[in-house]
């Protein structure tokens, strides 16, 4: 497998906070039968109860994050809702080396950077059925204080405006159904669809 072929095995899943990305993805990947690995991102936000280092995120200090930016360790990174998040180059390359597809669960800013670097990446956008549903889900989840919740809700319009730039759109009305749809889509992407690169390609 050449590096070029490896770098075409990239899938991006984006969508506003509250669209259900993590829950849907956890369902789909739990079976472990897909040749896909989720890239664990770095974040400077504090862990939520139950989140585990190296499983949900790598939780770094702002200083550690800046040093890694300086050293070119990120494929992409962004400031989101007042914290920094980034995809480590080595994390992605590790999975490619093991012959897996890599899935990045990242925001729309990061997705734009990945699209530039890897025009062949498959881009999937997940959204909730309507605007009120985001707030309902975020409140129900109970992980955000009021400030963080407001910041996340304020970002939704701008994030939704990016949806047309993605190859596939899913509307998450029901967790099980959406997980089944995403699984079908991933199977089609991986096993059935021969895709031509959309641009020059980049092995960054």
Task: Provide the minimum distance between the beta carbon of 111 and ligand 5GP in the complex, in angstroms, as a whole number.
Answer: 7
CA dihedral 172→77→114→131, nearest 10 degrees, is: 20
The one segment of 75-83, 168-176, 182-190, 192-200 that binds ligand 5GP by CB under 6 A: 75-83
Can residue 86 be called a binding residue for ligand 5GP (CB under 6 A)?
yes
Please report how the helices 175-187 and 21-30 are oriented relative to each other, as an axis angle in degrees rounded to 10.
60
The one segment of 27-35, 61-69, 107-115, 190-198 that binds ligand 5GP by CB under 6 A: 107-115
Shorter beta-carbon distance to ligand 5GP: residue 28 or 106: 106
**Binding-site member from 105, 127, 160, 172 for ligand 5GP (CB under 6 A):** 105
For the beta carbon of residue 72, count every other beta carbon within 10 angstroms: 9
Token pair belonging to 99: 């012959």
Shorter beta-carbon distance to ligand 5GP: residue 81 or 167: 81
HSE-CB at 114 with a 13 A cutoff on CA atoms is: 33
Count, in order, helices (H) and strands (E) of the chain. Answer: 8, 9
Residues at the interface with ligand 5GP (CB under 6 A): 17, 21, 41, 45, 76, 78, 80, 85-87, 105-107, 109-110
């Amino acid at each position: 497998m050449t590096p070029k072929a490896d770098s075409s095995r990239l899938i991006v899943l984006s969508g506003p906070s509250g669209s259900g990305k993590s829950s849907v993805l956890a369902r789909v990947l739990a079976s472990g039968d897909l040749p896909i690995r989720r890239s664990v991102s770095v974040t400077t936000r504090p862990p939520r109860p139950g989140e585990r280092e190296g499983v949900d995120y790598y939780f770094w200090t702002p200083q550690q994050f800046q040093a890694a930016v300086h050293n070119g360790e990120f494929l992409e990174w962004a400031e989101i809702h007042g914290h920094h998040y980034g995809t480590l180059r080595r994390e992605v390359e590790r999975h490619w080396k093991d012959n897996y597809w890599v899935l990045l669960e990242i925001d729309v800013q990061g997705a734009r950077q990945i699209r530039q670097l890897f025009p062949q990446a498959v881009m999937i956008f997940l959204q909730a059925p309507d605007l009120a549903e985001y707030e309902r889900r975020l409140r129900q989840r109970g992980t955000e204080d009021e400030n963080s919740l407001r910041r996340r809700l304020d970002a939704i319009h701008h994030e939704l405006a990016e949806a047309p730039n993605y190859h596939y759109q899913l509307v998450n009305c029901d967790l099980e159904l959406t997980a089944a749809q995403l699984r079908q889509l991933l199977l089609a992407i991986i096993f059935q669809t021969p895709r031509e690169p959309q641009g020059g390609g980049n092995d960054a």
